[in-house]
Amino acid sequence: MRKLFALAAFAGLLAPVAAQDTKPKEDPPKKEALKVGDKAPAVKATKWLQGAEVKEFAEGKTYVMEFWATWCGPCIVMMPHMGELQAQYKAKGVTFIGFTAKDPNNTLEKVQALVEKRGPKLGYTFAYADDRETYDAWMKASGQGGIPCCFVVDKAGKIAYIGHPMYLDVVLPKVVAGKWTEADTEGLKKIEEEVNAVFKASGDKDPEVFLKTLGDFEKKYPELAGIPYFHSGRLSSLVKAKKTDEVKKVAEDLLAKAVKADDSGLANTVTRTLVLFPDAVANKDLHATALKSAEAGLKLAGEKDAVALFFVAEAHFINGDKAKAKDFGAKSLAAADGPLKTDIEMRVKRYDDEKKEEKKDK
């Protein structure tokens, strides 16, 4: 995942839910060669990085074939929930396969590093291909261009669902029970429209509009209340609405979830809101929570993670500890490179600038 994602979106309420493939675009097929109801194509991988090789889709078993890449922020965001679903449905004969293919920004080395670090906690199967054969047989053939994208293969080896994995909580129960029908596929379109309405509401100036829209959606579809792309919007809107106690509770709940799943990205989502969102910075009652969140994120990400180090620096800064802010800011700069380094450099410069202003005032 591009770490710039963590800073570039700090003013937004919701993370993007899909990313476009970085491979040069080709003309899409004139007619979809793969659709719901068709027999699932074979899976050909160069290396199975975690879990047993899936040589064929066994009769009576259900499979989730999910396409992702290391540079795809929305893919990384979904991974912990995919792990939760794998654990929930493992005894029911469901196998999740995180499949990724080589591209200039998605090398075997990068994929292996991520799977080695996150894979054991996630608990599902990972496969890598150094060619695009399987990718094309599934993604290109079905006209899909954005990831994450998943295909649910039913017990007969046929494709029951093609789409974003955030809807798996409503798809999997029925597919596993053998009750997923064409009517359900049509009904999902209505759910997608309502999800889009939640995203649209995030742009409203009144945070209560988003909170009500989200609340109504979650009451109607409680099984989708855990969609990870809602976390940032919920927290930011609560901050803006000055619901401090609720902010603290949501932040604590999300941090507990992040620690359990070893999910530094989720911890960063919480911290980003608390240390960069103006209404949060202005609320002194949230500063202690911001520091706790930042330190938890750093513990998860590691001492060499530039973004996590920067968030700790910001948390100390808003808590009034300029010395620690400067120390962690320097560590963050040393760990960063490229555009991310430039972004961080501009922000940590404030630590020195403020000291100069203080001396000038004296």
- Integer Cα distance of 348 and 332 in angstroms: 9
**What is the reported pLDDT for 31?**
57
Residue 98 Rama label (left phi>0; alpha psi -120 to 50; beta): beta
- Integer Cα distance of 281 and 314 in angstroms: 10
Same domain, 111 and 229: no
Amino acid, res. 273? T
Return the percentage of the chain with pLDDT > 90, whole number. Answer: 86
E-assigned strands of 171-286?
A: none
Same domain, 100 and 131: yes
- Of the candidates 245, 262, 266, which has an alpha carbon nearest to the alpha carbon of residue 254? 266
Instruction: Give the number of domains in the chain.
Output: 2
Angle CA 162–66–79, to nearest 5: 125
Residue pLDDT, tens place only, 256-313: 999 999 999 999 999 999 999 999 999 999 999 999 999 999 999 999 999 999 999 9
Confidence of residue 246 (pLDDT cuts 50, 70, 90): very high
Return the percentage of the chain with pLDDT > 70, whole number. Answer: 89
- Integer Cα distance of 101 and 46 in angstroms: 9
Q: Which two tokens stand for residue 245?
A: 């106690």
Q: Is 209 helix (H, G, I), strand (E, B) or coil?
A: helix
Residue pLDDT, tens place only, 135-146: 999 999 999 999
Amino acid, res. 220? K
Q: Which two tokens stand for residue 95?
A: 């196998």
Q: Which of 139, 158, 180 is the last residue of a domain?
A: 180
Q: Are 237 and 207 in contact (CB under 8 A)?
A: yes
Q: Are 315 and 276 in contact (CB under 8 A)?
A: no
Same domain, 255 and 335: yes
Same domain, 193 and 175: no
- Integer Cα distance of 330 and 170 in angstroms: 46
- Integer Cα distance of 240 and 223 in angstroms: 27
**What is the reported pLDDT for 110?**
96
Same domain, 161 and 270: no
Give mean pLDDT, residues 226-238.
94
- Integer Cα distance of 290 and 251 in angstroms: 9
Same domain, 198 and 52: no
- Integer Cα distance of 75 and 149 in angstroms: 9
Beta bridge partners of 32: none
Same domain, 70 and 28: yes
Q: Is 322 helix (H, G, I), strand (E, B) or coil?
A: helix
- Is the pLDDT at 30 greater than 70? The verdict is no
Q: How many CB atoms lie within 10 A of CB 160?
A: 24
**What is the reported pLDDT for 14?**
46
Same domain, 46 and 81: yes
Give mean pLDDT, residues 4-22.
49
Residue 25: phi, psi to the nearest 5?
Answer: -70, 140
- Integer Cα distance of 291 and 278 in angstroms: 16
- Of the candidates 230, 313, 336, which has an alpha carbon nearest to the alpha carbon of residue 4? 336
**What is the reported pLDDT for 194?**
96
Q: Are 31 and 104 in contact (CB under 8 A)?
A: no
Same domain, 252 and 329: yes
Give mean pLDDT, residues 54-62.
96
> In which domain, by residue range, is 118 found?
4-180
- Is the pLDDT at 58 greater than 50? The verdict is yes
Q: Which of 180, 198, 222 is the last residue of a domain?
A: 180
Q: Higher-confidence residue: 354 or 44?
A: 44
Same domain, 89 and 166: yes
- Integer Cα distance of 342 and 337 in angstroms: 8
Same domain, 153 and 205: no
Give mean pLDDT, residues 110-132.
96
Q: Is 10 exposed, middle or buried (0-12, 13-18, 19+ CB in 10 A)?
A: middle
